[in-house]
């Protein structure tokens, strides 16, 4: 493991690619090894114990591949497993929650912040915790939107049914007079335009993917781990636990690079 080693990024499926995309944009010399746990997607309605077990398996796999740092590109896994995994493994592990919470705390003017995410993320109250660590006066309004992940996975990002569900899930947050809304699930940036249409220009949308890539850059700089001998074109690698072809198709619509292969990798429980 050296500063030229790759960065490990994982998620339950394709959602974490919104984080990988930001990393590719902000620190383009870095190489990514991505793992999408497509055999066990979704994570959002599973228990803490199960998510910790799955995260541990994936982190071991990524460490075996020689990564220098790990990004948990999944809000549910960050909420349930980041702390435990940081204690278990001797490698920097960056989650998506703290960066998103910091950005929202900086953006809000009326101290009323909405968070949308999976049941697991919302019920963990992890965003409340980090937001109030930064500013105890912030009032946090959380709303679980369990169907959003499925709508994204079905490619229904611009669809009247999705608009109806956005209205149903988010109306109460708008009524709560929030001025900032955290997209607290890595699938949700793919619904950004539809959500913007509904909430209008007065509510600031916070995409933790952007902030997470910025945090990662800071951690690499602070630990002297930025790539020193950048390749002409980084050779990113993509591993999935099921459905490699479907993943590849979706990845090519999300990422700026050409994803030629997604490799099937079965993890041992």
- Which residues would be at the binding site for a copy of itself (CB under 8 A)? 38-40, 45-47, 50, 146-147, 150-151, 153-154, 160-161, 164-165, 168, 241-243, 246, 266-269
For the annotated catalytic residues, the residue numbers are: 74, 185
For a copy of itself, the closer CB: 11 or 153: 153
Answer yes or no: are the C-beta atoms of 228 and 222 closer than 8 Å.
no
Dist. CA 75–CA 110, nearest whole Å: 25
Instruction: Tell me how far, at minimum, the Cβ of 57 lies from a copy of itself, in Å.
Output: 10
Answer yes or no: are the C-beta atoms of 263 and 244 closer than 8 Å.
yes
For a copy of itself, the closer CB: 28 or 155: 155
For a copy of itself, the closer CB: 4 or 242: 242
- Residue 152's contacts (CB-CB under 8 Å, 6 or more residues apart) are 14, 15, 187, 188, 190, 191
Instruction: Tell me how far, at minimum, the Cβ of 209 lies from a copy of itself, in Å.
Output: 24
The helices-and-strands tally (H runs, E runs) of the chain is 11, 10
Instruction: Tell me how far, at minimum, the Cβ of 134 lies from a copy of itself, in Å.
Output: 32
Task: Name the phi and psi angles at 91, rounded to 5.
Answer: -160, 145
Answer yes or no: are the C-beta atoms of 174 and 199 closer than 8 Å.
yes
Dist. CA 186–CA 181, nearest whole Å: 14
Instruction: Tell me how far, at minimum, the Cβ of 64 lies from a copy of itself, in Å.
Output: 17
For a copy of itself, the closer CB: 232 or 266: 266
E strands in 88-138: 93-94, 112-117
């Amino acid at each position: 493991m050296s500063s030229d080693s790759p960065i490990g990024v994982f998620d339950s499926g394709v959602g974490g690619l919104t984080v990988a995309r930001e990393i590719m944009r902000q620190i383009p010399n870095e190489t990514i090894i991505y793992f999408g746990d497509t055999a066990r997607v979704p994570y959002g309605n599973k228990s803490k114990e199960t998510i910790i077990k799955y995260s541990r398996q994936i982190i071991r796999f990524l460490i075996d591949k020689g990564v220098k740092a790990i990004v948990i590109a999944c809000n549910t896994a960050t909420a349930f497993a980041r702390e435990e995994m940081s204690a278990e493994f001797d490698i920097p592990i960056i989650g998506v929650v703290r960066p998103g919470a910091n950005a929202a705390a900086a953006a809000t003017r009326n101290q009323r912040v909405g968070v949308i995410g999976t049941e697991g993320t919302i019920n963990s109250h992890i965003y409340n915790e980090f937001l109030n660590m930064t500013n105890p006066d912030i009032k946090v309004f959380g709303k679980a939107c369990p169907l959003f992940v499925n709508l994204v996975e079905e490619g229904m990002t611009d669809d009247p049914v999705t608009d109806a569900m956005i209205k149903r899930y988010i109306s109460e947050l708008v009524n709560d007079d929030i001025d900032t809304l955290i997209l607290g699930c890595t699938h949700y940036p793919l619904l950004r335009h539809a959500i913007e249409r509904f909430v209008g220009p007065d509510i600031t949308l916070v995409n933790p993917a952007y902030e997470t890539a910025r945090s990662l850059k800071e951690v690499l700089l602070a630990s002297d781990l930025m790539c020193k001998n950048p390749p002409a074109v980084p050779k990113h690698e993509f591993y999935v636990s099921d459905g490699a072809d479907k993943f590849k198709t979706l990845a090519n619509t999300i990422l700026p690079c050409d994803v030629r292969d997604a490799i099937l990798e079965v993890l041992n429980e």
